[in-house]
Amino acid sequence: MGQGLYVDGRWRAASDGGTAGVVNPATEAVIVAAPVGTVADAADAVAAAHRAFHDGRWSGLVPADRAAALRRLRQRLGDRIGHHVALSVAESGAPHGQSTAFVTAALAHLEYAIDVATGEHDRMLPPPPRPAGGPPRVTASLVRRVPVGVVAALTPYNAPLMLTLPKVAAALTMGNTVVVKPSPYTPLEILALAEAADEAGIPPGVLNVVTGGAEVGAALTGDPRVDLVTFTGSDAVGARVMAQAARNVTRVVLELGGKSALVVRADADLAMASRIGAVNTTTLAGQGCALLTRHLVHRDMFAGYVAALAERLSTAVLGDPAHEQTTLGPLISAAHRDRVSAAVQAAKARGARAVVDGGPVGVGGRGFFHEPVVLTGVGNDDPVARQEIFGPVAVVLPFDTDEEAVTLANDSPYGLAGAVVSADRMAAVAVAERLRAGRVSVNDGATADVRLPFGGFGRSGIGREFGLEGVLEYTEVQTLQW
């Protein structure tokens, strides 16, 4: 991993020399003292990206040449996949198996973006009808996809490489330059990404990494030289990012929060439904925006589902995320663990029943762990059913008809994901089609497919990531006529 910030193809200390310890959330030990960038560093990074874009050192290359450079980046990342997995485990606390899956998926998204970018996205149109009695004024029209320019990417702490590399890949393949600001909790994977880019010969200024807090993020989103801001995080912070970008009418791509619904119909396979519910409760310790955290269960299945879910969660292996058998790692910080616990306690004070009543724990007396929680006895209007808790907490609510299930699922400020479990596939699809969410699966239909766009409705965001749609977010449409 490179030492320092990566700006204009060089490693350097923060302008004020600032550093902060990156803490392992499982052990509370400091992994390393990482640089903490400043507003001045952010300005330098944007200036470097601006120069690199406008002098054509990257945007002026033909797609095949950009693809060749990015394939070298893919090779270097792949050669060190174990290193990136270890960084993910150490700084984010994601268990080894989950970290491996997310790092592998990140590389797959890079490969897909390279392949898409070398395709043809321009359209040549025939001339319009000749004006009566006169010569044609236009002989040809070309609709082109051109790069946006300078992209500021603000990325989160959960699965850092997976939630950063697809943004970088989509932006770079289409000819843009990028400044990445990783989460202060998890800068190491992204600094390692910059090191790989440097070794791959990506030209100076094309990819820059500046660490730091909210003030650095605000400097990036408010800089008039930035042409697009892409952000993944909470809807509250996303709203602030959007407001900051709006001052310069800067485009935004926002992938925000979720309170996604798992709909379990009366004919559902109970084993399948409870397995899906348990996985969505424990993956990344619940720190995933697309996880299914509202479980809407037909009343005839309710008691059986709750019991089956509780049984599955009792087998979750909470512990050291470096161990391959661990399925439930820590939350990112002590403060976040306390917020999750406070949300659960507040729900119980309002009358929620904790069928699975987990709380904050340590492993060997250390770490920011929280046991799983399953709450029942609340309505869909309760804060615990409407707000994103971002912890291993599931809320189970009953319904009597498909119409009620759809109403409950859509009665949310969010609309990121959803799922329907039913033995009647066509009935399940009919329900799924009515859910106001960006990605909906039926039964075991949720698979990792890099071709599929990802994003949400409502407060879950604006725009799409992944797939062709995600790549084209980093382009402008230009029409040429001659």
Residue positions annotated with a catalytic role: 255
Contact 116, 172 (CB under 8 A): no
Which residues are CB-neighbours of 454 under 8 A, at least 6 positions away?
255, 290, 438, 439, 464, 465, 466, 467, 470
d(Cα 175, Cα 227) in Å, to the nearest integer? 13
Single-letter amino acid, residue 45: A
d(Cα 171, Cα 175) in Å, to the nearest integer? 7
298 phi/psi in degrees, rounded to 5: -55, 140
**Concatenated DSSP letters of 342-399:** HHHHHHHHTT-EEEEE--EEEETTEEEEE--EEEES--TTSHHHHS---SSEEEEEEE
- Residue 455 tokens, joined: 């994003």
**Concatenated DSSP letters of 339-358:** HHHHHHHHHHHTT-EEEEE-
Pairing of strands 373-376, 393-399: parallel
How many C-beta neighbours within 10 Å does residue 323 have?
Answer: 15
Using only C-alpha atoms, what is the Rg of the chain?
24
